[in-house]
A and B are shown apart, each in its own frame.
Chain A
Amino acid sequence: MDLLSNKWIVNLLVSWFFIGVGCNSVEKKIYVHLNYTVPCVRLLNATHQIGCQSSLSGNVGVLHVLESEENVDWVLGTGANPPYLVILESALFTRSIMMKLKNGSGRVAGVAVIMPNTNPLEGFSPHTSCPNENTGVYSETYDPSLAHCNVTVWNPFGNGLSYEEFDFPIFSMKDDDDTRVIRQCYMDHNRGVNGSVPQYPLCAMQLYSHMSAVTDTATCMRRNDLNLSLSPEMICDPLGDYNVWASTKPLNTTAKGHKTGESVVVAAARLDSRSFFFDVAPGAESGVSGFISLLAAASALKTVIQEAPPSRTIFYTFFQGETFDYIGSSRMVYDMENKQFAVDLDNVHSVLEIGQVGLRADSKLWLHSDPVSRKNDSVNDQVKTLITNLRSAAVNLSVSVDEPNVSQPLPPSSFQRFLRARPIPGLVLEDHESSFTNRFYESMYDTADHLNMSYPANLTQEEQLEFVTEIAKALTEVATLVARALYIQAGGAEAQLRNINADP
């Protein structure tokens, strides 16, 4: 009896012990998890790797909020507690500071950039200053004087950060409460007051973005296929997607190769964009403005083409992957050359490409053409016809078109890949005469705010969809112009032009 009751008492006590203690996660007391962070990832091409890499268990570093460029010396030299994890305000996210940190040789564990809520005043573009210079048409063989942006530097704000290789992780954080906590922690613990060395305990941060891909594309794809052992896993993913194309006349797409008697006007635009960080690709001015205008133009031409079809077919093509050395357009040209596409290059009569058209200064649009192919008279005549068509299309609109005064090469555009195959007459429609007017080309700041797309304060989501903003009106004008020009270029009658109007 005694033994049994003893056992019961012990059991009761033990169960009370477990209930009373509860569950306290030590991790929650040490770590604060951050939401809304975006890493920079590693990208490979045929010969190099770019982007950032962290160690297998994440990079841990002592927090340091960088105050100015001179403060970098603390991180690189004088600071007593390396490795440091540097927090940068967006104004300090410049090439000079990043290159100094890159050469930090182990003292820099990572970088976190605080994304501001409004765009910075000066331009910022992590892309190179001469985008896609090695994969366009301007090379030493085509015309050495025009190669490598010798005549016009298209992206003067470009600092090339996206194409550098960093061996520490770089993240972007939203400027919210967590960021405030981080700054406060730095002020309280990590900052040396009056030149004194900060002592432990110190605030620290851990960034984890381990990348499996390494060396270059060939190696990585080979290892992908090879992985014979215990855990087959993907080491890298190819960059790829689909181009979208449509034609005004029904075409037999199963019959590939040349179609006799077909003459096609290609209307091209690009779909994609990028920024320094992964999956952040607003591209409002660099990509969206162009393809929205082309979509609106296609919609505008719908009824007229059915009632009074022009003699040539219009091909609306939307290329994907143009940021990364013209993935989409090079594939289409390749397919056309190898008779794997519904039409081939002999069928292409001319090309009109819509580039960046969102930021028009004094309502002018510029028509860029390729001076080298225009040395050939027949091509030159065709291009001149195209320009006249565009001018006549612009007659009753508030947009005006013009050719740039200087003889300069084409800006980076999908049309360059067509020219690489053969000299086709064509034009690229842009809103800049020489360098880009886009100060945030291929960066995270190229957002709707950059195009001044703002809605009045008290609209619901549905009302916002119906509301016509200024930029929408501007792009409508562009779309009408493009639609009318395409119609004339395709051989339609001038009289019909009045009926072609894009709907805002």
Chain B
Amino acid sequence: MNLERVPNEEKLGLCRKYYLAGFAFLPFLWLVNVVWFFKEAFLKPVYTEQLQIQTYVKRSGLGLLFWVTVLTTWITIFQHYRAEWGEVGDYLSFTIPLGIP
């Protein structure tokens, strides 16, 4: 969506909505927040709401980083150790590859 013609209060409102919605285990919204509002927050000349937008973008960025690390760690551990976990691994899996442990 093109933010050029959007008034500043609406921009702030959007950023805020995405930031708050991301707390519902939706890190992708934070990613969208960061990517979309990055230019607005850091690369545009200063305007009144920009400080607020900057905080929201920074916090979304932090949240995103947190999620990325958690998910990467879990996926690595699962892929590596699923075979060794036996029963637990099988109950946690959605599809199990055939023919290899």
Chain A positions within 8 Å of B, measured between CB atoms, are: 53, 56, 210-215, 219, 222-223, 226-227, 229-230, 235
Contacts and interface: CB of A to CB of B under 8 A. Distances in A.
Contact of B99 (A214, A219, A227): A214
B99 A53 contact: yes
Given A53-B99, A56-B99, A210-B99, A226 B94 contact: no
B91 A226 contact: yes
Interface residues of B, number: 12
B90 A235 contact: no
A214 B98 CA distance: 8
Interface in B83-100: 83, 86-87, 90-91, 94-96, 98-100
Q: Secondary structure at chain A's binding surface: helix, strand, loop or mixed?
A: loop
Contacts of A211: 99
Nearest to A222: B90
A222 B87 contact: yes
Contact of B100 (A214, A219, A226, A229): A214
Contacts of B90: 219, 222-223, 226
Contact of A229 (B86, B91, B95): B95
10 contacts: A210-B99, A211-B99, A212-B98, A214-B99, A214-B101, A215-B101, A222-B90, A223-B90, A227-B96, A229-B95
**Those 6 A-B pairs whose CB atoms lie nearest each other, nearest first:** A212-B98, A215-B101, A214-B101, A229-B95, A211-B99, A212-B99
A274 B100 CA distance: 25
Contacts of B96: 223, 226-227
Nearest to A215: B101
A167 B87 CA distance: 24
B70 to A, nearest CB: 25
A53 B99 CA distance: 8
Contacts of B86: 219
A167 B34 CA distance: 49
Nearest to A225: B90
Given A219-B86, A222-B87, A229 B99 contact: no
